[in-house]
A and B are shown apart, each in its own frame.
Chain A
Amino acid sequence: MNLRTHKWIILKLIAILFLTFLNAPELFAEKASYEARAGMISSGGFVLFYNSRGPLSYNTLSPGELPKESMDLGEVQCKSCQHGISIPFISSLIGQKSSSVSGALGDGSFKKALSNLLSQRPELRGIYDVKIDFQKVNILGIYRKLCTEVTARGFK
């Protein structure tokens, strides 16, 4: 191989790496919103292992739906998380294209978040005025975390 071929291969590798990184935001892309939206952590490339739970839908209480004898317990917060790992590689087996092996693990479901809350505040009967957020963490596209955060007011 001459110098020109080497340069061409290096340029190709750089382009592949660049495209891999460009593709990283897609990992967190939200789909169109429907009533029930699965909030599963995404994984790219070859998925070696996936065992994760995420939120789907939660018909929360509004203040007018509280039981009559209920008592407000102030603001409460809870969260549950899913974790993912993705290791990029370039393989000559697939024509020098970049890809990755990935895996995901964890329980980021509403059920887990609320059971975490109940273990901290066993006196709670329920929650209302519920705000649900996602926390997304991504370090170099290798480690990802997706947490379901519930902020609400509790009652007993």
Chain B
Amino acid sequence: MSGCGILYTNVHVPRAYRSATPGDVEASQNDPIVTGKSCTHSLLFLFAWGNGGYAAATKNALKNYPDGILYDVQSDSQLKSVLGLYTRLYTVVTGKVAKRK
């Protein structure tokens, strides 16, 4: 919905992400759960912009753990719209952070 602007569009949208499983990393029970968001915006259906991709969302999730890796990842979409005139489409990535093996 917010991926298209009739006059101008420059958006990054998610396509695929094969995330790690607990067996892939040094998982422990105390691994923190983090969430990261990225979003695209759309105004009046005319303009669309923003980076709502997986890369931006995972980077945001790992901002406090630059050396960590996400595992057991759930990714969701969230849409916020005001009268359909301004729209934000989020990619929300939630997962646990572990050390690399």
A21 nearest in chain B by CB position: B6
CA distance A105 to B30 in the complex (A): 50
How many pairs of A and B residues are in contact by the CB < 8 Å rule? 100
CA distance A128 to B53 in the complex (A): 17
CA distance A123 to B56 in the complex (A): 26
Given the interface pairs A62-B21, A63-B101, A64-B24, the reply to whether A134 lies near B6 with Cβ below 8 Å is no
Given the interface pairs A72-B100, A129-B69, the reply to whether A135 lies near B12 with Cβ below 8 Å is yes
Residues on the A chain within 8 Å of B20, using CB: 62-64, 129
CA distance A148 to B15 in the complex (A): 9
- In contact, A134 and B12 (Cβ under 8 angstroms): yes
Q: Is A24 an interface residue (CB 8 A)?
A: yes
Q: Is A130 an interface residue (CB 8 A)?
A: yes
- In contact, A151 and B55 (Cβ under 8 angstroms): yes
Q: Which of A72, A134, A151 is the one whose CB lies under 8 Å from B13?
A: A134
- In contact, A131 and B58 (Cβ under 8 angstroms): yes
Q: Is A58 an interface residue (CB 8 A)?
A: yes
Residues of chain A from 123 to 156 with CB closer than 8 A to chain B in the complex: 129-141, 148-149, 151
